[in-house]
Amino acid sequence: MSQYTGRPEDPTRGRPADDTDEPDEFDDLDEDFDDEPRGFGATLLAGIKELVIVVVLAMALSFIVKTWLFQAFYIPSGSMENTLVRDDRVIVSKLTPGPFDLKRGDVVVFEDPGVPSPWLGGAGEVRSTVGGPFHDALVFVGLLPEDSENHLIKRVIGLPGDHVEADGDSGEIKVNGVEITEPYVKPGDAPSEGKKFDVVVPAGRVWVMGDHRSDSSDSRWHDDGTGATGSVPMDKIVGRALFVVWPIDHVTWLGVPERTFSEVPSPATPSTRPTGKATVNPAPGSKPSASTTKVAS
């Protein structure tokens, strides 16, 4: 019969804890504490590297947003008063037209159509040089509003196929035979402000007008009576202005006045549309100055 000798002897019994063969969970920490601290130069270099990475990522993201989603523009004149005033900054969505449809009443930014002559009277060739290359770099990536001044901002009154007309006096503008009331027109201005027109907007184009009718060189003043030269090609439209972001006291959403166009029917069929012939009757004196609301880009 085997004799019970008791519990096996613990090989570590009676030995200090430091003498055990098992690794201590704090050994690695101890080694870290023994390392020499980084010098000032190494710490500064690491900080600069992190800053550069953050700046590059921010600029890349800004460029992507500017190119495909949103872009900032500034207002250098008064042709959209009182909706927009000089030096306002607006954010423009490049998703309209595109995934989102353009609507009557939308405020849009578009490139100077250049027909029959530049709407900006040559101002599109002017670029600001303030800030030099650094300024241009920030503009390029979208961190500053662009300032090439070859863009304009107006309100869409007629969509492709719409019959837009006005008597040139104090009467309201008609769209597809329905007289519209425009609450956004600057107080004191007549809806057509001395300019008679009667056009059908061609396919792929829109009829635009400034809210400050007496100081806006818009579709009225560039049309030959057919709607083909005064209207703006859809592919020239950069996007829809969504809201004012600067100055702070002007921050507001640029919504579409639904009531204004709610009763306007769809365009008539081609067989019943009017010819679009119009009589050009400039107001006494000359047409408004070409200092249309330009949006730098």
pLDDT digits (tens, 9 = 90+) for 44-80: 888 888 888 887 777 676 666 666 578 888 888 889 9
Is there a catalytic annotation at residue 154? yes
Q: How far is CA 62 from CA 55, 69, 92, in A?
A: 10, 10, 14
Return the DSSP state at 213: G
Is there a catalytic annotation at residue 79? yes
What CA–CA distance (Å, rounded) separates 291 from 152? 10
Catalytic hit among 79, 93, 217, 231: 79
pTM of the model: 0.67
β partners of residue 175: 164, 178
Go through the chain and tell me how many residues it has: 297
Q: How does residue 124 score in pLDDT terms, banded at 50, 70 and 90?
A: very low
What CA–CA distance (Å, rounded) separates 192 from 173? 7
pLDDT tens-place string over residues 213-265: 999 989 999 999 889 999 999 999 999 999 999 899 999 999 888 889 999 99
Q: Report the phi/psi class of residue 110: left, alpha or beta, with left for phi > 0 and alpha for psi in -120 to 50.
A: beta
What CA–CA distance (Å, rounded) separates 171 from 191? 7
User: What is the per-residue pLDDT for 165?
Assistant: 95
pLDDT tens-place string over residues 263-278: 999 997 543 444 443 3
Average pLDDT of the residues of the chain: 75
Q: How does residue 8 score in pLDDT terms, banded at 50, 70 and 90?
A: low
Region 182-210: mean pLDDT is 94
Catalytic hit among 66, 93, 94, 154: 154
**Percent of the residues in the chain that have a pLDDT greater than 70, as a whole number:** 65
Q: Report the phi/psi class of residue 142: left, alpha or beta, with left for phi > 0 and alpha for psi in -120 to 50.
A: left
| Contact predicate 190/168, CB 8 Å | no
